Amino acid sequence: MKWVCQELGMKSILLLLLAVCLCLSIGVQAQITDPSEVSALKEIRSNLIDPMKNLSNWDRGDPCSSNWTGIVCYNRTLDDGYMHVQELELLNMNLSGSLSPKLGNLTYLKILLVNGNQLTGPLPEELGYLPNLNRIQIDQNKISGELPKSFANLNKTKHFHMNNNSISGQIPHELSRLPALVHFLLDNNNLSGHLPPEFSELPNLLIIQLDNNHFDGTTIPASYSNMSKLLKIDLSSNQLSGSIPSNKFSDNMTTIILSNNSLTGNIPVNFSRLPFIERLSLADNQLNGSVPGTIWENRTLTNGHKLIFLEGNPLCSRANLNLFCGSNQDGIESEIPKNIPVSCPSQACPPSYEYPPGHPESCVCAAPLIIEYRLKSPGFLRFGPYQNGFEEYLSSGLRLNLSQLDINSVTWQEGPRLKMSLKLFPDNSSHVFNSSEVRRIWRMFTGWQVPDNDTFGPYELLDFILLDPYKKGMSKSLNLLLY
């Protein structure tokens, strides 16, 4: 050491140490995320056109430690000593370009969301080898090509949301092996051929949406009646022909939509034995046979809602079917639940404050957080019967009291999706949420930390509105959280 000092001088030693430190720290930085995932991410980005520059921070530092936009990592290093990418959230960024096969190198990925972009090109086969993938949402893009057979390996995937693309060809029957599949949404694509009868083997399937495709060949496979958990099937606007199978669908069915096909023959007697049905549409087909006398028993109009739609079929020439063959009124409408009336002194709360409807007796003015929220694929068509269950589900999911949540309005949108405007109130005694509570709630929504519920399906956060009492300081730090 002594001769080194003499040789180089103290100043040089310091410089050398500094250089070593820099090298080490750069080395550590670069090793935080698994390097094969870092190189995959770079490749994924190079295949994308990013008009709003949402991914501009993907040049800087390390994906997991430098908060790259749209990348959520596991919250600790795994046994291999690396951080790994858990979620890719590139939704609604107007990205074009294509999905890189290198997505298959993000082997720890659980959630892939690229919906609401302008992506073209095929689905890379490599996506099928992501062993941990729970959810894939590519809806509302311009993806073309066929569904890769490799997707049959996605044995943890619960949600396939691929509607509103240009996916073509047959659905590979191999997908009937998917043990976890809950939602299969491929409506508004260019799929053709027959509906795979093997889908009846999907043990957990709740929702099938394949409307607005080009399915033809035979009619609905008789085996679909064997899906015991099924709630909702929409096969409308295809080219299905033949008669409707007479087997009885699951008792839990709420929605059967077969309209705008070329179905012929009878309406099966079993269609009048579905206790929870909310919408049965057979409109605009070639049905000309018998109609079970019991079909209108108990279910002509419930609270003014039409449940059965038969218009546009030859059998409508029969006089007694007017009720179901009437004008093509849409049964899907907005419902605005009533707020609980408040019996407090009528002196107004200051602006931004109001009486929490959940505590009509307390008369404490409180400032709500306003959340614009949307259920992407609810398993029902009328909110009323599900409102209490939803309030329980969401408030407990957010770890709030039931009385802190107020549903201000609900609106059905295309899809059908259910948009809601929610108000969250601080608990009984306080006027405002404190800032850590606001952040916590924000993170629950943006991080999909409210667990999915099969009935309500996945959700998206549309807006998180901070009224004046929360604006100071808070919106800045929320923006930081938003990368």
Ligand X SMILES: *[C@@H]1O[C@H](CO)[C@@H](O)[C@H](O)[C@H]1NC(C)=O
Q: Does 75 bind ligand X (CB under 6 A)?
A: yes
How far is it, in rounded angstroms, from Cα 72 to Cα 111? 9
Spatial neighbors of 385 by CB under 8 A, at least 6 apart, are: none
Give the nearest distance from C-beta 470 to ligand X in angstroms.
19
Residue indicated by tokens 């009720």: 323
Give the nearest distance from C-beta 443 to ligand X in angstroms.
9
Q: Kindly tell me which of 38 and 367 has the beta carbon lying closer to ligand X.
A: 38
Q: Does 298 bind ligand X (CB under 6 A)?
A: yes
**Binding ligand X by CB under 6 A: which of 29, 46, 294, 300?**
294
Give the nearest distance from C-beta 77 to ligand X in angstroms.
12
| Structural contact between residues 41 and 5, judged by C-beta atoms closer than 8 angstroms | no
Q: Does 297 bind ligand X (CB under 6 A)?
A: yes
Q: Which window, 90-98, 255-263, 335-343, 349-357, contacts ligand X (CB under 6 A)?
A: 90-98
**Binding ligand X by CB under 6 A: which of 25, 29, 39, 46?**
39
**Cβ-count burial of 3 within 10 angstroms (0-12 exposed, 13-18 middle, 19+ buried)?**
exposed
Q: Which window, 186-194, 277-285, 335-343, 468-476, contacts ligand X (CB under 6 A)?
A: 186-194
Instruction: Write the binding mask 376 to 415 for ligand X: x where contact by CB under 6 A, - elsewhere.
Output: -------------x--xx--------------------xx
Q: Which window, 4-12, 187-195, 359-367, 430-438, contacts ligand X (CB under 6 A)?
A: 187-195
**Binding ligand X by CB under 6 A: which of 31, 47, 57, 92?**
92
**Binding ligand X by CB under 6 A: which of 25, 46, 228, 434?**
228
User: What number of H helices and E strands is found in the chain?
Assistant: 6, 25
Q: Does 217 bind ligand X (CB under 6 A)?
A: no
Give the SS3 label for residue 202. coil
Q: Kindly tell me which of 57 and 362 has the beta carbon lying closer to ligand X.
A: 57
Q: Does 132 bind ligand X (CB under 6 A)?
A: no
Distant-in-sequence contacts of 166-169, Cβ < 8 A, 24+ apart: 166/142, 166/190, 167/123, 167/143, 167/191, 168/144, 168/192, 169/145, 169/193
How do strand 159-161 and strand 168-169 relate by DSSP bridges?
Answer: unpaired
Instruction: Report the 3 state secondary structure along 281-295.
Output: ECCCCEECCCCCHHH
**Binding ligand X by CB under 6 A: which of 12, 25, 56, 94?**
94
| Structural contact between residues 101 and 128, judged by C-beta atoms closer than 8 angstroms | no
Q: Does 204 bind ligand X (CB under 6 A)?
A: no
Residue 77 to residues 60, 61, 74, 371, Cα–Cα distance (Å): 20, 17, 7, 33
Give the interface size with ligand X as a residue count (CB under 6 A).
49
Distant-in-sequence contacts of 171-174, Cβ < 8 A, 24+ apart: 171/147, 171/195, 171/196, 172/146, 172/147, 172/148, 172/196, 173/198, 174/149
Q: Does 13 bind ligand X (CB under 6 A)?
A: no
**Binding ligand X by CB under 6 A: which of 98, 141, 157, 188?**
188
Q: Kindly tell me which of 275 and 341 has the beta carbon lying closer to ligand X.
A: 275
**Binding ligand X by CB under 6 A: which of 42, 194, 229, 248?**
229
Q: Does 157 bind ligand X (CB under 6 A)?
A: no
How far is it, in rounded angstroms, from Cα 356 to Cα 426? 9
Give the nearest distance from C-beta 99 to ligand X in angstroms.
14
Residues 243-262 that bind ligand X (CB under 6 A): 247, 250, 252
- What is the radius of gyration, based on Cα positions, of the chain? 27
Q: Does 190 bind ligand X (CB under 6 A)?
A: yes
Q: Kindly tell me which of 109 and 367 has the beta carbon lying closer to ligand X.
A: 109
Give the nearest distance from C-beta 359 to ligand X in angstroms.
21
The token duo for 42 is 């770079």
> What is the spatial order of strands in the sheet that 190-193 belongs to?
168-169, 190-193, 214-215
Q: Torsion-angle region of residue 448: left (phi > 0), alpha (psi -120 to 50) or beta?
A: left
Q: Kindly tell me which of 261 and 272 has the beta carbon lying closer to ligand X.
A: 272
Give the nearest distance from C-beta 86 to ligand X in angstroms.
8
DSSP letter (8 states) at residue 182: -
Q: Does 47 bind ligand X (CB under 6 A)?
A: no
DSSP letter (8 states) at residue 218: S
**Binding ligand X by CB under 6 A: which of 14, 21, 51, 475?**
51
Ramachandran angles phi, psi of 465, nearest 5°: -95, 125
Residue indicated by tokens 């690229």: 114
Q: Does 454 bind ligand X (CB under 6 A)?
A: yes
Q: Does 455 bind ligand X (CB under 6 A)?
A: yes
Q: Does 155 bind ligand X (CB under 6 A)?
A: yes
| Residue spans of beta strands (DSSP E) within 39-188 | 48-49, 71-73, 85-89, 96-97, 111-113, 135-137, 159-161, 168-169, 183-185
Give the nearest distance from C-beta 302 to ligand X in angstroms.
12
Neighbouring CB atoms inside 10 A of 333's CB total 12
How far is it, in rounded angstroms, from Cα 258 to Cα 281? 6
Binding site for ligand X (CB under 6 A): 36, 39, 51-52, 54, 66-67, 75, 92-94, 96, 104-105, 118, 131, 140, 144, 153, 155, 164, 166, 168, 179, 188, 190, 192, 200, 222-223, 226, 228-229, 247, 250, 252, 272, 294, 297-298, 389, 392-393, 414-415, 453-455, 481
